[in-house]
Every structure is written in C-alpha cells, then in structure tokens.
C-alpha cells in the first residue's frame, strides 16, 4: 500500500482536466501536452489508487463512480490552491488565468459585452473568453466558468443566481402585417405564418394571459431559426410572427423594423440567471466578475 507522503499529486490536475474536457485529445490541448502523457498519468493514478476512474470509448471518456467521487473531492481543493497561488502576486487585487463565459447571443451583445470589456480593463492579466450562442453549453465538458441563461431553469440541481427578469413580445415586420393583417386575438396566431425558435423546448406552443382569460395557442411554423440573429433576420424580412425577449425586441421596434402586436396580452415572464458549474467551490475570478457585474447591472437600471 502506498503511504500518503509517497503519493504523487501531479496526476490530479491532469485528471481534472480530462474530466472537464471529456476526451484525451481535448485535455491534451488544454494542458499543452501530448495525449500520451495524459494517458500515462491517468493509468499511473488508477494504478496507485487501485480503481478505474474512467470508462473509455473511442471518442469520449466517462467517469466511473470512483472517478466521480475523486473529482468532486479534489476539484475544489485544486481550484483553491490555484486561487491561493494567484493571491500571492504583488497586486493582491489582480486576477490571472482564464475566465470563460457563455451567454445567449442577444444578452452577450446587448448587456454582457460592455461589462466584460470594463472588467478586463481592471484585470489586464486575466484572459476572458465570451462565447455567445443560443445552444445551452455543457459547462463541465467545455470548461465554462460561468453561464448566463434566459428563460426557465429546468434542472433544479443547478447552482444559479437570478439577476433579473424579462418580458416576451409577439412581433412582426410592418410589411408582413400589411400583407396578412394584425391578429386581434391570440387564437388568430394559429392562422398566421409563424417562425419557430428551435432552441426552445416547445417553440410552437404559447400561453397568453389577459386579466382572467388564459389562452393556449398551437402555432404552425412555416420557417424556423436556431439563433436569435437568424430569428430577427427572418422576421425583419417579412417571414412571419414570433416571440422575442424585450431586450432584443425593443431596439428593433424603436428602429421601425418590427412592430409589437397583442400588447394587451402577456406571455410568461422569463428570468435571467447566472449559472455556476457543478462543485462546491466558486473560483475567485468568478466571484470577482459576479460582484462587478451586479454593480454594473445596478447602474444600467
């Protein structure tokens, strides 16, 4: 049996990198080493522990139960060690390393980008990557430190902080409404051309509320879009009606490119969330950015 003081800890950062990257190739790229070194370190770690940490396939690796236990115990400790080392720099308030953020296109462009630039000026030694897209990212696999999500969180186990809310508007281009008419009641939408936003779980079913009247409508999509930018482009060119969050719709309405309809009817209010990856420990860089961002949001209101 290996004594604790003889145990080589060098394999643990490689182990956590492999967990978070999801493959030997991605882990090697993240660490700046070869796949052979990653594989060797993992085999040596498994041999020392006497357990199998990963189920291996030709394309991916998946944690065993023992591997999951090791990751959840070691990852916060390793991150804490990195934070402790970072705090020893001459400027104790300076952040180093990488910060990876992800957000939907409209939120990244309309809100988050300005905050990221301002935060970067305060911490020039910190490399920040802002990934925008409407697909929900796998935070562990893609190495995301903090995700911003709009809508409704379906996974109750996620660690999230609610930052605000948004309204949803039914909108269309003036040209479309001139050609096909303005719907006077939500039920009329079933007869209109609808553009489905495919990242949504149910892009064709919408429930409207007006005082005590509640109406569920099943739309019929003639077009579909997988990104916010694509959805807006299809609507602006007269492709049909759809729903946009207020942060995206209002600039288009102000510019005259889109018109809001059924204003007296409301759709469910959505939430804006900051979502943390699994694990108990929140890195210093994430805590610092969130503290900065919440002050930034307060100034925008």
Q: What is the C-alpha separation between 21 and 28, in angstroms, rounded?
A: 9
C-alpha radius of gyration, the chain, whole number: 24
Residue 90 has a pLDDT of 41
Enumerate the H helices of 87-223 as residue ranges. Answer: 105-107, 113-122, 174-180
Q: Packing angle between helix 65-86 and helix 11-21, nearest 10 degrees?
A: 110
Q: In which band, very low, low, confident or very high, does the pLDDT at 84 lie, cut at 50, 70 and 90?
A: low
**Model pLDDT for residues 85-144, shown as the tens digit of each residue:** 555 444 445 688 899 999 988 888 888 999 999 999 989 999 999 988 767 667 777 788
Residues contacting 160, CB < 8 A, separation 6+: 149, 153, 273, 274, 275, 276
Q: Which helix (H) or strand (E) holds 26?
A: helix 24-31
**Model pLDDT for residues 137-174, shown as the tens digit of each residue:** 677 777 888 999 887 766 545 578 888 888 999 999 99
Domains of the chain: 4-86 (1.10.10.10), 97-164+273-300 (3.40.190.10), 168-268 (3.40.190.290)
Q: What is the C-alpha separation between 143 and 179, in angstroms, rounded?
A: 48
Helix (H, G, I), strand (E, B) or coil at 97: strand
Q: In which band, very low, low, confident or very high, does the pLDDT at 2 lie, cut at 50, 70 and 90?
A: very low
**Model pLDDT for residues 11-57, shown as the tens digit of each residue:** 888 888 888 778 888 788 777 778 888 888 898 888 888 899 998 87
Q: Which of 1-10, 66-75, 166-175, 204-213 has the least mean pLDDT?
A: 1-10
* Phi (first) and psi of residue 86, to 5 degrees: -65, -30
Q: Which of 205, 191, 195 is CA-nearest to residue 242?
A: 195
Residue 109 has a pLDDT of 84
Q: What is the C-alpha separation between 21 and 61, in angstroms, rounded?
A: 9
Percent of the chain at pLDDT exceeding 70: 87
Q: Which helix (H) or strand (E) holds 218?
A: strand 213-218
Enumerate the H helices of 58-167 as residue ranges. Answer: 65-86, 105-107, 113-122
The more confident residue out of 107 and 4 is 107
């Amino acid at each position: 049996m290996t004594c604790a003081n003889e145990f080589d800890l060098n394999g643990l950062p490689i182990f956590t990198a492999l967990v978070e990257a999801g493959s030997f190739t991605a882990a090697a790229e993240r660490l700046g080493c070869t796949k052979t070194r990653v594989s060797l370190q993992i085999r040596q770690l498994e041999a020392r522990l006497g357990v199998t940490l990963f189920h291996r396939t030709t394309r991916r690796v998946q944690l065993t139960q023992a591997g999951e236990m090791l990751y959840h115990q070691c990852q916060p400790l390793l991150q804490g060690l990195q934070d402790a080392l970072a705090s020893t720099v001459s400027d104790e308030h300076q952040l180093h390393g990488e910060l990876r953020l992800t957000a939907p296109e409209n939120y990244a462009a309309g809100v988050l980008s300005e905050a990221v630039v301002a935060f970067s000026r305060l911490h020039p030694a910190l490399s920040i990557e802002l990934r925008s897209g409407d697909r929900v990212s796998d935070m562990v696999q893609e190495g995301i430190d903090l995700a911003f999500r709009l809508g409704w969180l379906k996974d109750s186990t996620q660690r999230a902080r609610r930052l605000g809310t948004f309204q949803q508007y039914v909108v269309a281009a003036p040209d479309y409404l001139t050609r096909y008419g303005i719907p006077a009641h939500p039920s009329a939408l079933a007869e209109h051309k609808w553009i489905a936003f495919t990242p949504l779980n149910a892009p064709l079913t919408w429930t409207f509320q007006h005082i005590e009247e509640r109406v569920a409508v099943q739309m019929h999509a003639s077009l579909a879009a997988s990104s916010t930018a694509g959805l807006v482009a299809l609507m602006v060119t007269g492709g049909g009606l759809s729903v946009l969050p207020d942060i995206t719709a209002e600039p288009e309405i102000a510019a005259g490119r889109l018109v809001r309809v059924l204003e007296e009817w409301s759709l469910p209010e959505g939430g804006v969330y900051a979502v943390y990856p699994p694990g108990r420990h929140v890195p210093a860089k994430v805590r610092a950015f969130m503290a900065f961002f919440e002050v930034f949001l307060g100034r925008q209101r």
